[in-house]
């Protein structure tokens, strides 16, 4: 059973107003989505909150892929935030930066970002991010799902997964300590505006991609191949195929 002193944690936070811990749930994003819908329907302010699940039995990743979330093995969190709509293009980059710097700062793990928002260590996936947004005037209601592997999971469906416990250079007590550190790190990072140039520069420094890397991008039923150029100021991937420079807004990057 996961034990977190939610009142003590929230008392010391700058932006996050509430913290909920649920033993078992289909998906924390589903719960957060309902909260956002209720707030919009009733013209209420969205609580700045974090929902933590000890176990998810229907966690979802990008493109409706399932995300295995067995009890006590990882951080399964959804962050509810309201941000200025002008920041929306930066959100996927900023959230990836937050997760990677959490792994760097707390566990001394050299994690890297694979576009758009997979987090890798030595080419293996340690974390994933799923972001949903509802726009209302100049405000955006964000549902930010984050899954981070803390302890190894022997799962044939995830042969390329890796966990904090396998690569951390620092000793730590366990899942509760990792979750508390995650909440505190997120709170610190979201307590200030996302500056465009700072977010872009940090993402580029943390990216696994290097200019000239051969990649393929799966966009729907189409596969685009070429070399990595970088990202533009909207966070879109730039891929060169011969003399053509292509801009990719959404898709999966496949690296050799």
pLDDT band at residue 220 using 50, 70 and 90 as cut-offs = confident
Indicate if the pLDDT at residue 2 is higher than 70: yes
Q: What stretches of 54-118 show up as alpha helix (H) in DSSP? A: 91-107
Contact 52, 72 (CB under 8 A): no
Q: How confident is the prediction for the chain on average, in pLDDT?
A: 89
- 147-202 tens-digit pLDDT: 999 998 776 666 689 999 999 988 888 899 999 999 999 999 999 999 999 999 99
Strands 237-241, 222-231: pairing is: antiparallel
Helices vs. strands in the chain: H and E counts, helices first? 6, 12
Q: Please, what are the domains in the chain?
A: 6-206 (3.30.930.10), 214-254 (2.30.30.100)
CA distance 71 to 18: 22
Phi, psi values for residue 145, rounded to 5°: -90, 130
Report CA Rg, the chain: 18
- Classify 197 as helix, strand or coil: helix
Q: What is the pLDDT of residue 184?
A: 97
Spatial CB neighbours of 49, under 8 Å, sequence gap ≥ 6: 16, 17, 18, 19, 20, 35, 79, 80
The per-residue pLDDT for 43 is 85
3-state class of 231 per DSSP? strand
């Amino acid at each position: 059973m996961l034990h977190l002193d939610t009142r003590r944690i929230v008392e010391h936070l700058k932006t996050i107003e509430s913290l909920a811990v649920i033993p078992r749930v289909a998906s924390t994003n589903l719960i957060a989505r309902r909260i956002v819908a209720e707030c919009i329907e009733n013209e209420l302010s969205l609580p700045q909150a974090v929902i933590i699940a000890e176990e998810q039995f229907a966690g979802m990743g990008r493109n409706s892929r399932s995300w295995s979330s067995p009890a006590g093995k990882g951080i399964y969190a959804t962050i509810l935030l309201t941000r200025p709509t002008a920041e929306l293009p930066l959100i996927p980059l900023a959230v990836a930066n937050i997760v990677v710097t959490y792994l760097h700062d707390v566990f001394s793990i050299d994690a890297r970002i694979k576009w758009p928002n997979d987090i890798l260590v030595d080419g293996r996936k340690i974390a994933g991010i799923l972001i949903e947004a509802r726009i209302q005037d100049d405000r955006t209601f964000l549902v930010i799902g984050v899954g981070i592997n803390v302890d190894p999971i022997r799962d044939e469906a995830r042969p390329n997964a890796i966990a904090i416990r396998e690569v951390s250079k620092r000793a730590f007590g366990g899942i509760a300590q990792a979750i508390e550190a995650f909440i505190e790190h997120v709170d610190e990072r979201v307590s200030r505006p996302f500056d465009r140039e700072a977010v872009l520069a940090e993402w580029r420094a943390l990216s696994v991609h290097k200019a000239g890397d051969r990649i393929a991008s799966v966009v729907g039923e189409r596969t685009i191949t070429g070399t990595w150029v970088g990202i533009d100021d909207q966070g879109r991937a730039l891929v060169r195929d011969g003399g053509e420079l292509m801009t990719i807004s959404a898709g999966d990057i496949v690296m050799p």
